Amino acid sequence: MNDIKTKIQKPAKKVVVARKEERSPRDFWQENKEAVTYKIRNFVLAQVLAELGELEGKISIKDITLDRPVAEKFGDYTTNIALILAGRLKMKPREVAERIAGKINVSLGRRDDNNDNSQISRVGEIGAIVDKVEVAGPGFINVWLQSSFLSTQLQRVLMNKNGVVTTYLAGKKIAVEYTDPNPFKEFHLGHLYSNVIGESISRLFEANGAVVWRGDFYGDVGMHVSKSVWGVMEKMNKEDKSLEDIEKLSLEERQKFLGEGYALGVRQFEENKEVAEEIKDINYLIYIAGQDLLQKTKGWKPIIDYRQYVKGREEKLPEVAKVYEAGLKWSLDYFESIYKILGTKFDGYYPESWVGEYGMKIVEKGLEKGILDKDYRTIIFKGEKFGLHTRVFVNQLGLPTYETKDLGLAYAKYKDFQYDLSLNIFGKEIDEYYKVVQKALELIEPDLGKKAFHIAHGMVKLPEGKMSSRTGNVITFKWLLEEVKNETRKLMKDSDLALEEKDRVASVVGLGAVRYALLKTNIGEDVVFDFGKSISFEGDSGPYLQYTYARAKSVLRKSKIIRQLADQKSKLEEERYHNILKDYQSISDEEKAVLRSIPRFAEVVEEAGRNFAPNIVANYLFDLAQKYNLFYNKHSILKPIVKLLNGQIVNKNKAIEQYSNESIKQSVILFRLALTEGTANIIKQGLYLLGIETVERM
């Protein structure tokens, strides 16, 4: 069902939320009171109320927001609460900020201006998390975390091999529908985009504690199928081929034949009036064939008698049904071969022939309620009264339209999986269409309507030109996969991997390059897929992240003490990191940058899930990889230069006897290996959320 048209638009950085209406699926998310950000916000709220008692009962934790500063020199978090409160208090924002920050620092024991020891004793856990706060600019309050806390968070990352799982969606059931390719047509780059987005969002929901049901909706009936079947029969006649001949072809060759048949049917429908009438008649036969197939395969009991609408050519039903059933099976088998490559396993498949009948029952209910209007056979929803537009739900031929099928889809999915939330993911070109369907569903079936939302993603294209399966000029998934694999193989020409392993790695890295290129842009924006930039091992690309992961794993393999590190993970306690920070004058800026980035991952997973924005994960991973590579290039991990308190510089290349403090040297190595393994763990987990596999050697 998801056929995506494309156009060029420069990607933006703004996160686009799924709906602009007041009702938002983000309201579905719960507060996680164990999250570090929640604890800090709650602490800030307490200090605001303690310092500015007149605000008691007038603000809540929802008013306290934490953002990441534009630069690390401004701390780990920043809040604009002082700017928000200044107007209410009729004070200057900077003055409000200084009062709040002063109160916080006193409570943390960082200052003793008021000798308020009672406050210091009450901060408890937060004192081990927050180091200090400072006021910046017009009234921003910047927050720094304790280095010891960051070290503890690093330890947790090392101990957690199964990835970050938060509880924001604990106990919630979410149905996610995506991909939606139409049978008889090839699986192109647009379908890939929908799949990549849907799979990533599904994994983000799971990482936030939800149970996810993956659904695929496809158009097995309708005019597009009628055009395809007519075109396939015409091609078979012209090329003197039988279904048995086509059956002998590979999956890709069969699908190509079907796609060419569709393109032929589209052209002839537009150019030849007689053919157009024949295709319209075949359309009724397709509905009957689809219904008959459901009866044979699923024991389906028809709700609608489509034979009443047949005008002519009923004698062609056996031939049409035979081509239809064969083509449908080939298409679905072909799609499954692609889903296997993509790592997607759907829990439910929803053909239009099936959900359309459910939809007709909902339409009848809409007529009874006076929500829909009927004029002879045509049934419409007048959306103008709701600021929308009018849509036809049953056409003049008496057949259900996409609108009715989407109504039935909501019911069919709920019948299979009693979801708390249902998300449909599709191209933004049908955004306005779906708003009408959504409103009709809310009015006819309120219980279903309040659970249903949609996410409209942008268009995708190659720089060379527009995709269109309508004309047969389409960028297929299999072609694209082979192209990126070949290009990746060229970049790996100097690799010492065995030929078979090099081929496998090229496939993994190539597919990862495509996924990352599609996901690093905000969902609502259009994407231009650029081969050169996407496959590069430098810059903001999938291969760059995979290379960083492989580099980190290489360091861990080379380390003679890696087994010791693995054996002692349970001993990587807070004291070890305290000792490092105590023994040195300071850890390097590059080490600190990595250390500060690693604990952010759980927050990133939550933020990306809440905003349906895999690009937040992609951007974070790129930033982490950059920081790790800078650290890697400036500091030896296994042969460190150690700076003691007295300023003496000692290099591991010198004789070990020269070290006055061997434990410091070992601590440095272990700490840097911990940063390396922590980075590798996060990159692997993050890439999994993007649907990207990692490789340990390149």
Which region among 202-211, 526-535, 543-552 has the lowest average model confidence (pLDDT)?
526-535
Distance CA 597, CA 604 (A): 10
pLDDT of residue 407: 98
Name the band, by pLDDT with cuts 50, 70 and 90, for residue 12. very low
**Is residue 506 within 8 Å of 526, Cβ to Cβ?**
no
Name the band, by pLDDT with cuts 50, 70 and 90, for residue 496. confident
User: Closest by alpha carbon to 13, among 618, 456, 584, 553?
Assistant: 618
Residue 472: phi and psi, rounded to 5, are 90, -5
Which region among 90-99, 631-640, 681-690 has the lowest average model confidence (pLDDT)?
631-640
The residues with which 175 forms a beta bridge, in sequence order, are 213, 422
Q: Please write down the HEC assignment for all residues of 388-429.
A: CCCEEEECCCCCECHHHHHHHHHHHHHHHCCCCEEEEEEEHH
Higher pLDDT, 649 or 305: 305
Name the band, by pLDDT with cuts 50, 70 and 90, for residue 531. confident
Which of 121-130, 392-401, 493-502 shows the highest mean pLDDT?
392-401
Query: Which one-letter amino acid corresponds to residue 92?
Result: K
Note the pTM of the prediction, 2 decimals.
Answer: 0.87
Question: ∠344-346-352 over CA atoms, to 5°?
Answer: 125
- For residue range 154-200, what is the model confidence (pLDDT) as tens digits? 888 888 766 666 778 988 999 999 999 999 988 988 899 999 999 99
Domains of the chain and CATH, by start: 33-146 (3.30.1360.70), 173-461 (3.40.50.620), 477-689 (1.10.730.10)
Locate 242 and state its tokens.
Answer: 């039988």
pLDDT at 572 > cutoff 60: no
The residues with which 543 forms a beta bridge, in sequence order, are none
Locate 508 and state its tokens.
Answer: 């993994």
Query: Which one-letter amino acid corresponds to residue 152?
Result: T
Which region among 365-379, 462-476, 532-546 has the lowest average model confidence (pLDDT)?
462-476
Q: What is the distance, to the nearest Å, from the Cα of residue 425 to the centroid of all Cα atoms in its chain?
A: 11
Name every residue whose Cβ is closer than 8 Å to that of residue 448 and which is 6 or more positions away in sequence.
410, 411, 414, 422, 441
Higher pLDDT, 202 or 147: 202
Instruction: Provide the sign of the torsion angle of the four alpha carbons 510, 512, 518, 522, taken in this order.
Output: negative
Name every residue whose Cβ is closer than 8 Å to that of residue 389 and which is 6 or more positions away in sequence.
383, 432, 436
pLDDT at 83 > cutoff 70: yes
Distance CA 244, CA 255 (A): 15
pLDDT at 561 > cutoff 50: yes
pLDDT of residue 457: 92
- For residue range 20-46, what is the model confidence (pLDDT) as tens digits? 445 677 777 888 888 899 999 999 999
Q: Please write down the HEC assignment for all residues of 201-255.
A: HHHHHHHCCCEEEEEEEECCCCHHHHHHHHHHHHHHHHHCCCHHHHHCCCHHHHH
pLDDT at 579 > cutoff 50: no
pLDDT of residue 656: 34
Name every residue whose Cβ is closer than 8 Å to that of residue 211 and which is 6 or more positions away in sequence.
172, 173, 174
Q: Is 465 helix (H, G, I), strand (E, B) or coil?
A: strand
DSSP per-residue letters across 516-579: HHHHSS-TTS-EE--HHHHH-SSSSSHHHHHHHHHHHHHHHHH-TTHHHHHHTGGG--HHHHHH
Q: Which helix (H) or strand (E) holds 454?
A: strand 452-457
User: Closest by alpha carbon to 470, among 255, 280, 260?
Assistant: 260
pLDDT of residue 397: 82
> Could you give the percent of the chain with pLDDT greater than 70?
85
Name the band, by pLDDT with cuts 50, 70 and 90, for residue 591. very high
DSSP state of 137: T
User: Closest by alpha carbon to 305, among 355, 360, 363?
Assistant: 360
Name the band, by pLDDT with cuts 50, 70 and 90, for residue 470. very low
SS3 content of the chain, % helix, strand, coil (to 5): 60, 10, 30
Locate 687 and state its tokens.
Answer: 């890439």
Which region among 373-382, 423-432, 471-480 has the lowest average model confidence (pLDDT)?
471-480
pLDDT of residue 117: 46
Q: What is the mean pLDDT of residues 422-432?
A: 92
Region label for 9, one of left (φ > 0), alpha (ψ between -120 and 50) or beta (otherwise): beta
pLDDT of residue 159: 81
Distance CA 331, CA 261 (A): 13
Buried (b) or exposed (e) across 152-163, using 16+ Cβ within 10 A? bbbbebbeeeeb
Q: What is the mean pLDDT of residues 459-476?
A: 63
Locate 342 and state its tokens.
Answer: 């993509």
Q: Please write down the HEC assignment for all residues of 51-92.
A: HCHHHCCCCCHHHCCCECCCCHHHCCEEECHHHHHHHHHCCC
Average pLDDT over the chain reads: 86
pLDDT of residue 597: 95
| Residue given tokens 């012209």 in the structure block | 238
Locate 229 and state its tokens.
Answer: 């079947």
A 10 A CB-CB count for 660 gives 11
pLDDT at 47 > cutoff 60: yes
Per the document, the length of the chain is 698
pLDDT of residue 520: 96
User: Closest by alpha carbon to 182, among 437, 527, 469?
Assistant: 469
Distance CA 192, CA 477 (A): 7
Distance CA 79, CA 64 (A): 7
A 10 A CB-CB count for 468 gives 18
Residue 134: phi and psi, rounded to 5, are -140, 155
pLDDT of residue 509: 94
pLDDT of residue 5: 36
User: Closest by alpha carbon to 262, among 283, 235, 239, 231?
Assistant: 231
- For residue range 666-691, what is the model confidence (pLDDT) as tens digits? 778 888 999 999 999 999 999 999 99
The tally of CA atoms less than 13 A away on the side-chain side of residue 72 is 11
Q: What is the mean pLDDT of residues 311-339?
A: 94
